[in-house]
Amino acid sequence: MTAPQEVRSDQRARARVRAFRVATLVAALAAALTVAGPPSPAAAAAPQVARQWTSLMFHSLTPSPEYVRLRATLAEQRATLAARGTRLTQGRSAHAAAQSTLTTAVTADASARTRYAIAAVTLSSARSTLVLVSQQRPRSGAAVARAKTTITNSAQTVTTHRAEARQAAAALKSAQAAARTATVTLDKAIVAWQTASTTVRTNQQKLISLDRSDEYAARAAAISRAVVTGIRPGFTVADTTTVSGITVHKSVAFAFRRMLADAKADGIVLAGGGFRTKQRQIELRKINGCPDVWTAPASSCRVPTAIPGRSLHELGLAVDLTSGGRSLTANSPAFRWLAEHAADYGYVNLPSEPWHWSITGG
C-alpha cells in the first residue's frame, strides 16, 4: 500500500533525519549560516540571495519538529500495524483450524448417532425375535438361547455406541464453542488491523504534506545562478570556511557538510578540493595546456579548465570530489551516490567532469 511518493519521501527523510541532531545543527548553523550573526570584520556581507539560498537549503534538509514528531508516531503506528497483521494472520489460521475441527466433529457426531441408532434397532429386533421363538411350539431351547445371546451382544453394542455418541456430541459442542471464539477473535483482529491501517495511511499522507524539502530545494536551485552573480563582485577569501578539509563558501557550508555526512553514513567517504585562488586558476590553465590563459575556452585545455575569473572554484561554490584517493568516474559508487542524492543538498554535476559538482552545475 506504499505509494511511490511515500517511498520517495521516506528515502529523502532517511537522508535528512539520520543526521538530524540538535547539537549538530546548532554547531553547523554557527559555522555555515552567514545570517546567524554579523560577519567577521574581514568577511564581506553575504548578498541577500546567498542568505536566501542558505535558508532554503537549511529548511530543505532540516525536518520540522512537527514532521519529526509525526514520523516517530508513524513508526510506532507501523509497528502496531505489523503486530496486528501478525495477529490477523494467526487469527485466520486459528479460525481455519477451528472450522476444520468443527467439520470433523460434525461428521463424527453424525456417524456416532447413526451407529447408535442402528444398534438400538438391532437390539429391538433381537428382543422381538426372542418373543417369537419363545412362543413357538414345540419350543426350541437352542433358538431361545441364540436369541438371548443376540440380545446380550446387541445390548453391549448399544451401550458402546451410546457412549461414543455422547463423546461425539460433547466434542461437537466443544468444537462449536471453539469455532465461535475463533470467529469472534478473527473479527476483532480484522477490525483492529483495519483501524491501524487507516491510521497509518492517514498519517502517511500527512507526513507527505509536511515534507516540503523538494519545494525548498527547487527554490534554491532556481536562484543558484543569482547566488553566483551576487557573491562574485564582493567575494573575499574570508567568506570561505573549511568542511572536512575542503574549503567552500560559507553560504554552502551547511548543505555541503550534511552531504558529506550522509554520504559517509551510506558508506561513501568523499574528499577533494573546493576553493582555489585566481592565481591557482591561472597556474592550472598553464599546467593543463590551454592555448591561451585568458581567452581559450575551457574545452580547449587537456583537462577542461575555466578561464580565470569565471571558475566557481574561485568563489568556493564548486568542488572537485574524490573517493578512496581517486577522482570520481561515472562508474564509481561515489558518483552514483551523488547522482542520486547530491541535488538534495543543492549540488549539480558538470556532465563532462564526473568529479566536478557545484550549485549551478557549471
Q: Cβ–Cβ contacts within 10 Å for residue 343, how many?
A: 17
Q: Is 322 left (phi over 0), alpha (psi -120 to 50) or beta?
A: beta
The answer to whether residues 270 and 334 touch, using CB atoms and an 8 Å cutoff, is yes
Q: Closest Cα partner for 253 from 20, 33, 4?
A: 33
Phi/psi at 195 (5° precision): -65, -45
Q: Which residues pair with 318 in a beta bridge?
A: 358
CA distance 357 to 362: 8
Three-class DSSP category at 308: coil
Q: Closest Cα partner for 319 from 265, 263, 243?
A: 243
Q: What is the pLDDT, as a whole number, of residue 44?
A: 58
C-alpha cell at 208: 507527505
Q: What is the pLDDT, as a whole number, of residue 45?
A: 74
Residues contacting residue 74 through CB under 8 Å, at least 6 positions apart: 200, 203, 204, 207
Q: What is the pLDDT, as a whole number, of residue 43?
A: 57
CA distance 151 to 145: 10
The answer to whether residues 200 and 74 touch, using CB atoms and an 8 Å cutoff, is yes
CA distance 85 to 37: 52
Three-class DSSP category at 9: helix
CA distance 312 to 302: 19
Residue whose C-alpha cell reads 568542511 in the numeric block: 243
Q: Is the peptide bond before 138 cis (omega within 30 degrees of 0)?
A: yes
Radius of gyration of the chain from Cα atoms? 42
Residue whose C-alpha cell reads 446380550 in the numeric block: 152
CA distance 133 to 141: 9
Q: What is the pLDDT along the chain (362 residues), one digit of tens a residue?
A: 333 344 444 544 444 444 443 333 333 433 333 333 334 445 557 899 999 999 999 999 999 999 999 999 999 999 999 999 999 999 999 999 999 999 999 999 999 999 999 999 999 999 999 999 899 999 898 999 998 999 999 999 999 999 999 999 999 999 999 999 999 999 999 999 999 999 999 999 999 999 999 999 999 999 999 999 999 999 999 999 999 999 999 999 999 999 999 999 999 999 999 999 999 999 999 999 999 999 999 989 998 889 999 999 999 999 999 999 999 999 999 999 999 999 999 999 999 899 999 999 98
Residue whose C-alpha cell reads 441408532 in the numeric block: 117
CA distance 66 to 68: 5
C-alpha cell at 174: 466443544
